[in-house]
Amino acid sequence: MRTIHPESFPAPAVPLSHGVRAGDLLFVSGQVATGPDGTVFVGDFATEVNTTIDNVEAVLRAGGASLADVVKVNAYLSNATLFAPFNELYARRLGHVPPARTTVVVDFGHPDVRVEIEAIAYLGEKD
């Protein structure tokens, strides 16, 4: 196993790796909309979702993968009313061949976080 930490990311504040490569799989820890300094984005939902996906993509790139390699996504939303706008924004970025996905509504520990995304990418043989 090898841990993945994008150079542009601050060190995690909690005991986790941004990503872990294990064989042909790359596991991306839950990402939220944070900037390079680790501050949580506060603003419109579209920017929050896109920044969150950008952060997932940064971990994937650091591990030798891309969004096209993602086979499974777990998405967490702070409110069920965000499901429709999230789907629209998500489809623009991961709709090429949608990975398997689970989406659940949760209560985040940070009051400004409305979305978190974790992913699994497959880096083995391409079909």
Joined tokens for residue 28: 């991306």
**Low-confidence spans in the chain with pLDDT less than 70:** 126-127
Note the pLDDT of residue 48: 97
Contacts for 5 with CB less than 8 Å, ≥ 6 apart:
11, 17, 18, 19, 62
User: Rounded to an integer, what distance in angstroms lies between the CA atom of residue 60 and that of residue 18?
Assistant: 10
What single DSSP character describes residue 81? G
User: Rounded to an integer, what distance in angstroms lies between the CA atom of residue 50 and that of residue 89?
Assistant: 7
Strands 2-4 and 70-77: unpaired
Note the pLDDT of residue 97: 86
Note the pLDDT of residue 126: 63
Note the pLDDT of residue 37: 86
